[in-house]
Amino acid sequence: LRGTAIVDPAFVVGPVRRNTFGSFVEHLGRCVYTGIHDPHHPTANADGFRQDVIDLVRELGVSTVRYPGGNFVSAYRWQDGIGAVEDRPHRLDLAWHSTESNTVGLDEFMRWCEVAGVEPMMAVNLGTAGVLDAVDVLEYTNVPGGTALSDQRRANGAEAPYRITMWCLGNEMDGPWQTGHKTAHEYGRLAAEAARAMRQVDPHLTLVACGSSGRDLPTFGSWEHTVLTEAYDQVDLISAHAYYHEADGDLPSFLASAVDMDRFIEEVVATADAVRAAGKHDKRISISFDEWNVWYIDRAESQPPSGDDWPIAPVLLEDRYSVADAVVVGNLLMSLLRHTDRVHAASLAQLVNVIAPIMTEPGGRVWRQTTFHPFALTSRHARGEVLQVVVRAPSTETAKHGDAPVLDVVATHDTETGELVLFAVNRALDAELTLDVDVRGFGDLRVIEAVSMASTDHDLPGEERWFATAEDDTSVLPTANGSAAVSGGRASAVLPPVSWSMLRLA
């Protein structure tokens, strides 16, 4: 196979935004407890947070971390998680049929953000709580002092306000599974009023309204339209959530997941702009893609406990990822970057143990999943501006997404260092693809690094592949791609079947 592309420094989509490289910590399964927090671990700090996990969070290159949920937040009482730990109540977590011990709460999380070098993105409970609760938590976090809640924060050890700027107005309120689920109209009104009151407390906020929890939901499109019609002036961003997995052995559709994400983003943008036109608004609403990943949602480990069983931190959603999964994760991140003009924030869901790039053993080791690598490499090397790329390549028919090109390419250009980075995916199952990119507009370039992650076992049934590539098997790491070259203003490389690659040129 052969695919060509043209890229030129003059054709800029927008800046590479650090907020595209966000992630997500929810009180779910072992994400918090025995994930980021494990007081008995040899590397635990005074708050009980694992330093070895923090080291990998830094290596992953995460910018923002969304917290405390997710579905969890929709019945969460944030006040349970402040003050003396021994006085904090145990509560039922309705979302995940677990018991929440409240050992970790807002102040601990903020201290974790500080040591992990990440910015918090907080979610308020608009499921079972409402405007008052949203205003209260904001008073606790952002008001310097002199009021009941801000003074309570100071008494709890945080003299200076946290000044958290990014806030999600609830979570997945379109989903019938959500505690306190609402119609678009009900939610739009509530989001508008919560936002208005929150801005009275602090005008310097970036507020995210809930969009759709999936492009395949029956309310997709009309939900965004109604919510934004109600809340356009009060909010800054609308969220989008998408999870993909290989179903029924249909690898071609799975590998084309980024085609679906492209459409999702473009349809939300079109809807937001339609509301803008009809409402004669000046500002544009962009997207916070604040949950995205590969998630094998049908696996037994994704099903919460039931009956009288309400465990603390059970094993939930602990997917093990193959190289094909990593190729898709790398490609989804390319889709987000390609839309950097309208995707202003994103969160890989989630960070530790729960559908996560980082896994831990309680009291034991920490390890990187396959999906860690394309995220970390993209976060480290995508700098400067995202450029338009015109790609020509053969397509294949997929059952889920129709015609999908076998090649996808995204380019970033750092005008300060002159570095051009090409991220490329070959979706073909059994053919190498020779990539040939016209880079004449950049002057003299040479290859400074070229790596590929290629799936070699995608012929195996899904479950075997899953175990064959688990943990730290070195065959699943990115490896140098020796075929990369630049000559006569053209960059080229041979991309193995089912692969994700990064070519750094300068």
Q: Which stretch binds ligand AHR (CB under 6 A): 63-71, 76-84, 98-106, 222-230?
A: 63-71
Residue number of the CB closest to ligand AHR reads: 70
Query: Pick from 26, 93, 174, 236: which binds ligand AHR (CB under 6 A)?
Result: 26
Q: Which stretch binds ligand AHR (CB under 6 A): 69-77, 184-192, 335-343, 401-409?
A: 69-77
Q: Which of residues 185-224 bind ligand AHR (CB under 6 A)?
A: 213
Q: Which two tokens stand for residue 41?
A: 């671990």
Query: Pick from 172, 202, 325, 419: which binds ligand AHR (CB under 6 A)?
Result: 172
Cα–Cα distance, 131 to 13 (Å, whole number) = 37
Helices (H), 161-299: 184-201, 222-231, 251-255, 257-279
Cα–Cα distance, 485 to 505 (Å, whole number) = 9
Say whether 432 is catalytic.
Answer: no
Q: Does 412 bind ligand AHR (CB under 6 A)?
A: no
Query: Pick from 3, 48, 69, 314: which binds ligand AHR (CB under 6 A)?
Result: 69
Q: Are 176 and 217 in contact (CB under 8 A)?
A: no
Cα–Cα distance, 349 to 275 (Å, whole number) = 29
Q: Are 369 and 350 in contact (CB under 8 A)?
A: no
Query: Pick from 101, 239, 271, 350: which binds ligand AHR (CB under 6 A)?
Result: 350
Query: Pick from 133, 291, 319, 385: which binds ligand AHR (CB under 6 A)?
Result: 291
Least Å distance between CB 323 and ligand AHR? 22
Q: Does 108 bind ligand AHR (CB under 6 A)?
A: no
Q: Please, how many CA atoms are within 13 Å of residue 382, restricted to the half-sphere of its CB? A: 33
Q: What is the DSSP code (8-state) at residue 300?
A: G
Say whether 471 is catalytic.
Answer: no
* Peptide bond between residue 70 and the one before it cis (omega within 30 degrees of 0): yes
Least Å distance between CB 102 and ligand AHR? 18
Q: Does 257 bind ligand AHR (CB under 6 A)?
A: no
Size of the site for ligand AHR (CB under 6 A): 11
Q: Does 179 bind ligand AHR (CB under 6 A)?
A: no
CA distances from 438 to 160, 179, 297, 308, 390 (A): 52, 52, 41, 63, 10
Which of the residues 172, 193, 246, 419 is marked catalytic?
Answer: 172
Q: Does 68 bind ligand AHR (CB under 6 A)?
A: no
Cα–Cα distance, 373 to 378 (Å, whole number) = 8
CB nearer to ligand AHR: pick between 142 and 212:
212
Q: Does 171 bind ligand AHR (CB under 6 A)?
A: yes
Cα–Cα distance, 155 to 167 (Å, whole number) = 24
Provide the binding-site residues for ligand AHR, judged by CB under 6 A.
Answer: 26, 28, 69-71, 171-172, 213, 291, 349-350
